[in-house]
């Protein structure tokens, strides 16, 4: 079977354990993300860019600009799929790449398996996926209740946890030498961070009498650096081995979604999760289930000393079972007969997503 993957970095980590369980399938990967390209390259016969990564700043792009960029990238995705011999498209996550992948696949009448982990804010185009996997019964019931989506399958876990658990990490001593500190906390500003909230987050962080290493991820380093006013708060520029850095830290404060929640959970790293842009999010539910405190930026100081290690043993165990189940499903797509939600479901998801705009 010829399979095309469409994913960004965190979803790529979900897909890798699944790819490794397939037999002679030929993999093509489409992404706008250089991190995903690096991760998927060893497993792919070809990788194509379907746009460019765009750093967030304090300046919000207009709807016209966003729409133009999405259409350009969707056309690139369409051309890449049209010129391949794809039997199945697999998408994962709630990024723009998922929208481009499903839209292009629908236009070309290629079946889609989508892996959904956030029932509160999915990409509206999952309404046209042929099969949607979910991590638990709650997600399965809510996709049906909220959006009328019934073509789901409960894989009972998060495959990314398997990926994280078997990663070879740098030793703490190597990390200490690289960054010149051995008693620090990590602040990670990920996809759930709104640019307008960053000044308040940085302000609260600087009230702590602790060494902080800031990983800005999608945000411009210069923009973040201008907000730093005290010693022992550093912004890391360039490549970051985030897993090793977090594991070597005293704890992690993060404003991100499912990917980092699974990572700190699987590695049992003490953590605080900031509520971020999406106040209602499946990653918040998972964090609380793992024992990770979920707070606003104004509660960081009162919560940091009570950080505790999440129990990630079951998360990892279920992650392995989930990736095995998805690998089995990939070769059983032809027996799945339930219809996608279609236009009605897409409208319901669109109305739900309005809450976050």
pTM flag (> 0.85): yes
Per-residue pLDDT tens for 212-230?
999 998 799 999 999 999 9
Distance CA 169, CA 177 (A): 15
- Which stretches within 83-211 are classed as H helix? 96-107, 137-147, 159-165, 172-179, 198-205
**Rounded distance between C-alpha atoms, residue 302 and residue 251, angstroms:** 14
**For the residues 173-194, what does the mean pLDDT come to?**
94
Rounded to whole angstroms, the Cα distance separating 153 from 169 reads 33
Does the pLDDT at position 59 exceed 60?
no
Non-local CB neighbours of 59 within 8 Å, separated by 6+ positions = none
Q: Are 135 and 92 in contact (CB under 8 A)?
A: no
Res 237 pLDDT > 70: yes
Packing angle, helices 342-353 and 137-147, rounded to 10: 100
Tens of pLDDT, residue by residue over 344-353, are 999 999 998 8
Give Rg (Cα) of the chain: 20
Half-sphere exposure of 277 toward its Cβ, with a 13 Å CA cutoff?
17
Residue 76, CB half-sphere, CA atoms under 13 Å: how many?
A: 19
**Taking phi first (over 0 means left), then psi (-120 to 50 degrees means alpha), and beta for anything else, what does residue 308 get?**
beta
C-alpha angle 7-145-13 in degrees, rounded to nearest 5: 20
CA-based torsion, 334, 340, 342, 346: positive or negative? negative
Q: What was the pLDDT predicted at 285?
A: 92
pLDDT tens digit sequence for 312-353: 999 999 999 999 999 999 988 666 667 899 999 999 999 988
Please choose, from the candidates 217, 211, 210, 188, the residue with its C-alpha nearest in 3D space to the C-alpha of residue 201. 188
Token reading at 329: 């499903």
């Amino acid at each position: 079977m010829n399979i095309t993957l469409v994913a960004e970095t965190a979803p790529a980590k979900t897909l890798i354990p699944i790819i490794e369980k397939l037999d002679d399938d030929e993999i093509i990967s489409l992404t706008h993300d250089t991190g995903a390209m690096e991760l998927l390259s060893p497993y792919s016969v070809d990788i194509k860019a379907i746009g460019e990564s765009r750093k967030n700043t304090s300046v919000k792009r207009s709807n016209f600009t966003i729409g133009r960029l999405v259409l350009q990238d969707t056309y690139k995705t369409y051309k890449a799929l049209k010129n391949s011999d794809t039997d199945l498209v697999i998408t994962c996550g709630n990024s723009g790449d998922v929208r481009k992948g499903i839209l292009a696949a629908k236009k070309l009448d290629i079946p889609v398996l989508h892996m959904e982990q956030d029932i509160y804010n999915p990409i509206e185009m999952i309404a046209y996926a042929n099969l949607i996997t979910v991590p638990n019964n709650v997600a399965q019931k809510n996709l049906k209740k909220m959006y009328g989506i019934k073509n789901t399958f409960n894989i009972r876990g998060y495959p990314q946890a398997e990926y994280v658990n078997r990663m070879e990490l740098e030793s703490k001593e190597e990390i200490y030498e690289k960054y010149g500190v051995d008693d620090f906390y990590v602040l990670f500003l990920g996809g759930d961070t709104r640019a307008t909230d960053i000044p308040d987050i940085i302000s609260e962080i600087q009230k702590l009498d602790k060494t902080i290493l800031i990983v800005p991820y999608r945000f411009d380093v210069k923009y973040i650096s201008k907000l730093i006013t005290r010693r022992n708060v550093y912004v890391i520029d360039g490549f970051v081995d985030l897993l090793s850095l977090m594991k070597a830290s005293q704890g992690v404060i993060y404003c991100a979604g499912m990917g980092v929640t699974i990572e700190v959970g699987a590695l049992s790293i003490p953590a605080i999760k900031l509520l971020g842009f999406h106040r209602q999010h499946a990653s918040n539910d998972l964090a609380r289930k793992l024992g990770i405190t979920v707070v606003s930026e104004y509660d960081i100081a009162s919560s940091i000393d009570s950080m505790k290690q999440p129990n990630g043993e079951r998360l990892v165990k279920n992650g392995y079972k989930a990736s095995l189940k998805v690998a089995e499903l990939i070769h059983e797509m032809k027996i799945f007969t339930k219809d996608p939600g279609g236009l009605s479901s897409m409208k319901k998801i669109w109305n739900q997503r309005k809450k976050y705009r």
